[in-house]
């Protein structure tokens, strides 16, 4: 332990702590802005400066190691003044249109200003200007960027894609993809992790809220909503509930109160995905074992960020992807075919909204493959944060809502579907069904959890041996099915490089684009709880275990759906509606012309003043007189000012003439 003196009190702190950590350990709060615990510490914003005895300058607490015997002042007058000046300087080049900012009241910069007690802004100067960069998924508003570089760390170190980096220098510095390229035109996966860590309104999802309100208010549309599994353990946080609280029933209620016509559950489509993907996997294995053409390992395709990543980074390996659409796209396709026919409504008159923990899903729905008969499967994607905003806007008291069930038939799901939201969950759900289908026995794990692939590690693997299969699967007898699971694009890259080298030992791989899976997707609530991932994970597993039906193939509404509509898994109709193909994009989009840039016209400002001026009113006489007087006095003041200026100029000129005269005199003398 280290012995320190902080603010005059003798304290201790663990060896190796930074000053910030040592203070926190002793319940002393040092304000920070750019710092992110365990992820990003570069000391660039300097807000966390403290006074250290013996040091000439103030030290950034987040990057300065505490040393035994150190004497630290975290709140001296010098520190307070420095922090205020730093803050005001930050604000001097910040677009402080706070009232119209998406992050108003959830902005870390705003909160910091309040904490520092800043009530004025003394510095005025040049403002850097950057055009708004709007892609289908993510909007970059650099007028609000504080250059904390959290997004750079997340994009480069955590996800390993390196789309965002600092460009230019000094006042001109911007964070971006380089050479002024818009985000929608480069190899960004749209995972949205940058939007989660951005402390201000510089990086955020491109809003679909208005579009969804318009659909709800359009009486000619049947508006169907569906919710991804990970939303039910996260959205409560937006209403002050503890991290990971399960709010499935309240969520369904809120959606009904918002005015959606059908409240369905993406979980149902997750069960459907398992049947389709499981069948596809068995076919691929069968083909491989019987010497036919087959591509293994097969990789899951539920995560559109991951899909875009592989299309850019490993375009030659897209055949490894399962051809299954992601669950919410399947739901959209089913709603606009099976369900529309049931209701007798044209698919064009239906509007499908997906509530997703994801920003990449916003770009997934505009892909040309995600249409059937020219009608898009899904019309709008809202992130979890956007839905929370809508619920607040509608004045719904979320926390006190009664529980409600999802609507049938597309709202009923098994526990296997719930865990689609966690890394390892899709694999586990698939194994529960495939193993039982092949052997006739339940998956041999406690509570059906495939323990080796449960948890938040980057790459997890498991081997499941098939013994005594049912007769029709006898060719699988003795096969050791090797599976791998990864979340986050850094892990995905490792597994893909292995595949590209031809060294992958696996049959089946699950990839989710965000570290931890959808529970911490790019569209999820920003949490201050350091254990948010563990909490959401645990609660989603609890949701699974709370259900009577825990295997996708036992979902009665899936069984009846195949009987009534699709026929067999992977049938012709299933392929048409539920399967897709992929685009080889290349790192620099060299194989495609498709981009995801949105051209958004600037909203026209309606000026209240011009409206008034359009209809002139007769002014009362007194006002007229006064204004004429005012006009005259202004003219006089102007003349006086002009006079003063001319006088000064004359003085200057006379002085110059004087100097010149003396210079000439000097020269003349020298000449003599």
- What residue ranges bind other proteins (CB under 8 A)? 156, 161-169, 176-179, 186, 586-588, 590-591
Minimum CB separation of residue 589 from other proteins in Å reads: 11
* Dihedral sign (CA 625, 631, 632, 633): positive
Minimum CB separation of residue 316 from other proteins in Å reads: 9
Query: 191 an active-site residue?
Result: no
Closest Cα to residue 283, out of 484, 564, 579?
A: 579
Minimum CB separation of residue 379 from other proteins in Å reads: 33
Residue 309 to residue 302: CA distance in whole angstroms: 13
Nearer to other proteins, 315 or 409 (CB): 315
Query: 354 an active-site residue?
Result: no
Query: 364 an active-site residue?
Result: yes
Catalytic residue among 302, 324, 384, 514, which?
A: 302
Going by the DSSP 8-state scheme, the letter that residue 409 receives in this structure is S
Nearer to other proteins, 169 or 563 (CB): 169
One DSSP character per residue, 276-315 reads: HHHHHHHHHHHHHHTT-----SEE----HHHHHHHHHH-G
Beta bridge partners of 11: 4
Minimum CB separation of residue 15 from other proteins in Å reads: 29
Query: 73 an active-site residue?
Result: no
Nearer to other proteins, 52 or 163 (CB): 163
Nearer to other proteins, 186 or 431 (CB): 186
Catalytic residue among 303, 518, 527, 543, which?
A: 518
Extract the tokens encoding 601: 């016209």
Nearer to other proteins, 145 or 388 (CB): 145
Query: Which helix (DSSP H) or strand (DSSP E) does residue 84 occupy?
Result: helix 77-92
Extract the tokens encoding 584: 């080889």
Distances in Å between the Cα of 606 and the Cα atoms of 609, 610, 612 are 9, 8, 12
Q: Give me the numbers of helices (H) and strands (E) for the chain, helices first please.
A: 21, 20
Catalytic residue among 137, 322, 326, 414, which?
A: 322
Residue 91 to residue 85: CA distance in whole angstroms: 10
Minimum CB separation of residue 159 from other proteins in Å reads: 11
Minimum CB separation of residue 166 from other proteins in Å reads: 5
Three-class DSSP category at 426:
helix
Minimum CB separation of residue 186 from other proteins in Å reads: 8
- Angle between helix 266-289 and helix 425-439 axes, rounded to 10 deg: 60
For residue 409, cis peptide bond before it (omega within 30 degrees of 0): yes
Catalytic residue among 325, 336, 361, 460, which?
A: 361
Contact 241/247 with Cβ under 8 angstroms?
yes
Of how many residues is the chain composed? Answer: 672
Terminal Cα distance for the chain, rounded: 87
Contact 230/536 with Cβ under 8 angstroms?
yes
Residue 347 to residue 371: CA distance in whole angstroms: 11
Q: Give the number of C-alpha atoms closer than 13 A to the C-alpha of residue 657, restricted to the C-beta side.
A: 6
Residue 367 to residue 369: CA distance in whole angstroms: 5
Catalytic residue among 108, 238, 311, 364, which?
A: 364
Residue 481 to residue 466: CA distance in whole angstroms: 7
Minimum CB separation of residue 266 from other proteins in Å reads: 33
Query: 151 an active-site residue?
Result: no
Residue 528 to residue 498: CA distance in whole angstroms: 36
Distances in Å between the Cα of 519 and the Cα atoms of 197, 231, 273, 357, 536 are 15, 8, 19, 7, 6
Minimum CB separation of residue 168 from other proteins in Å reads: 5
Nearer to other proteins, 179 or 614 (CB): 179
Nearer to other proteins, 52 or 146 (CB): 146
Nearer to other proteins, 176 or 522 (CB): 176
Q: Which residues of 253-266 are buried (b: 16+ CB within 10 A; e: fewer)?
A: bbbbbbebebbbbb
Query: 302 an active-site residue?
Result: yes
Query: 518 an active-site residue?
Result: yes
Nearer to other proteins, 160 or 249 (CB): 160
Extract the tokens encoding 503: 């060294």
Query: 211 an active-site residue?
Result: no
Catalytic residue among 280, 436, 510, 543, which?
A: 280
Contact 400/241 with Cβ under 8 angstroms?
no
Catalytic residue among 73, 88, 111, 369, which?
A: 369
Residue 565 to residue 341: CA distance in whole angstroms: 11
Distances in Å between the Cα of 238 and the Cα atoms of 125, 205, 252 are 37, 16, 16
Closest Cα to residue 138, out of 189, 87, 65, 68?
A: 189
**Do strands 49-52 and 59-60 pair parallel, antiparallel, or not at all (unpaired)?**
antiparallel
Query: Which helix (DSSP H) or strand (DSSP E) does residue 22 occupy?
Result: helix 19-25
Minimum CB separation of residue 588 from other proteins in Å reads: 6
Nearer to other proteins, 186 or 263 (CB): 186
Contact 264/410 with Cβ under 8 angstroms?
yes
Nearer to other proteins, 65 or 591 (CB): 591
Residue 151 to residue 165: CA distance in whole angstroms: 8
Nearer to other proteins, 167 or 256 (CB): 167
For residue 297, cis peptide bond before it (omega within 30 degrees of 0): yes
Query: Which helix (DSSP H) or strand (DSSP E) does residue 671 occupy?
Result: helix 621-671
Q: Give the number of C-alpha atoms closer than 13 A to the C-alpha of residue 468, restricted to the C-beta side.
A: 3
Minimum CB separation of residue 364 from other proteins in Å reads: 24
Residues annotated catalytic, as ranges: 277, 280, 302, 322, 361, 364, 369, 518
């Amino acid at each position: 332990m280290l012995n320190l003196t902080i603010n005059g009190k003798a304290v201790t702190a663990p060896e190796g702590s930074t000053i910030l950590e040592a203070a926190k350990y002793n319940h002393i709060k040092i304000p920070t802005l750019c710092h992110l615990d365990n992820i990003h510490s570069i000391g660039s914003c300097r807000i966390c400066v403290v006074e250290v005895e013996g040091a000439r300058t103030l030290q950034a607490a987040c990057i300065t190691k505490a040393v035994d015997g150190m004497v630290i002042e975290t709140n001296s007058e010098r520190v307070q003044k420095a922090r205020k000046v730093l803050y005001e300087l930050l604000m001097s080049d910040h677009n402080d249109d706070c009232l119209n900012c998406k992050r108003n009241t959830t902005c870390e910069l705003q909160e910091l200003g309040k904490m520092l007690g800043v009530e004025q802004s003394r510095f005025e100067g040049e403002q850097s200007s950057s055009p708004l960069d709007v892609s289908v998924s993510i909007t970059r508003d650099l007028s609000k960027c504080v250059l904390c570089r959290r997004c750079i760390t997340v994009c480069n170190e955590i996800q390993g894609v390196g789309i965002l980096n600092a460009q230019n220098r000094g006042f001109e510095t911007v964070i971006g993809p380089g050479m002024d390229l818009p985000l929608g035109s480069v190899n960004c996966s749209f995972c949205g992790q940058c939007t989660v860590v951005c402390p201000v309104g510089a990086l955020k999802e491109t809003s679909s809220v208005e579009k969804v309100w318009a659909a709800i208010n359009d009486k000619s549309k049947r508006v169907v909503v569906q919710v991804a599994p990970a939303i039910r353990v996260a959205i409560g946080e937006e209403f002050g509930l503890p991290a990971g609280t399960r709010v499935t029933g309240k969520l369904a209620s809120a959606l009904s109160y918002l005015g959606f016509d059908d409240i369905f559950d993406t979980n149902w489509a997750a069960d459907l995905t398992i049947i389709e993907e499981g069948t596809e996997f068995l076919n691929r294995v069968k083909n491989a074992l019987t010497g036919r053409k087959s591509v293994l390992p097969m990789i899951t395709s539920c995560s559109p960020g991951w899909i875009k990543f592989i299309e850019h980074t490993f375009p030659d390996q897209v055949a490894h992807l399962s051809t299954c659409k992601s669950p919410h796209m399947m739901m959209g396709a089913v709603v606009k075919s099976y369900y529309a026919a049931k209701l007798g409504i044209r698919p064009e008159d239906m509007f499908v909204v997906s509530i997703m923990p994801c920003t990449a899903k916003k770009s997934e729905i505009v892909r040309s493959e995600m249409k059937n008969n020219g009608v898009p499967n899904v019309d709008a994607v809202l992130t979890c944060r956007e839905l929370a905003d809508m619920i607040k806007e509608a004045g719904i008291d979320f926390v006190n809502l009664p529980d409600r069930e999802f609507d049938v038939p597309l709202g009923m799901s098994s526990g296997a579907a719930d865990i689609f939201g966690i890394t390892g969950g899709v694999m586990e759900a698939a194994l529960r069904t495939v193993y039982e289908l092949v052997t006739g026995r339940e998956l041999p794990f406690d509570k059906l959890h495939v323990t080796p692939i449960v948890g938040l590690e980057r790459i997890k693997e498991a081997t499941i041996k098939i013994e005594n299969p049912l007769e029709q699967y006898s060719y699988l007898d003795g096969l050791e099915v090797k599976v791998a699971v990864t979340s986050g694009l850094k892990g995905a890259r490792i597994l893909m490089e292995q595949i590209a080298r031809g060294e992958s030992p696996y049959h089946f791989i699950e990839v989710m684009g965000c570290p931890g899976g959808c529970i911490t997707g790019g569209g999820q609530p920003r949490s201050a709880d350091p254990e948010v991932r563990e909490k959401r994970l645990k609660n989603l597993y609890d949701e699974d275990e709370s259900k009577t039906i825990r295997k996708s193939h036992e979902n009665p509404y899936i069984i009846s759906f195949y009987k009534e509509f699709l026929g067999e898994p992977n049938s012709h109709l299933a392929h048409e509606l539920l399967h897709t193909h992929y685009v080889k994009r290349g790192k620099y989009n060299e194989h495609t012309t498709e981009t995801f840039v949105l051209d958004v016209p600037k909203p026209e400002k309606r000026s209240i003043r011009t409206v008034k001026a359009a209809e002139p009113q007769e002014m009362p006489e007194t006002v007229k007189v006064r204004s004429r007087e005012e006009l005259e006095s202004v003219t006089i003041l102007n003349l006086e000012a002009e006079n003063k200026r001319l006088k000064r100029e004359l003085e200057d000129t006379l002085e110059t003439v004087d100097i010149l005269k003396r210079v000439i005199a000097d020269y003349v003398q020298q000449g003599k």
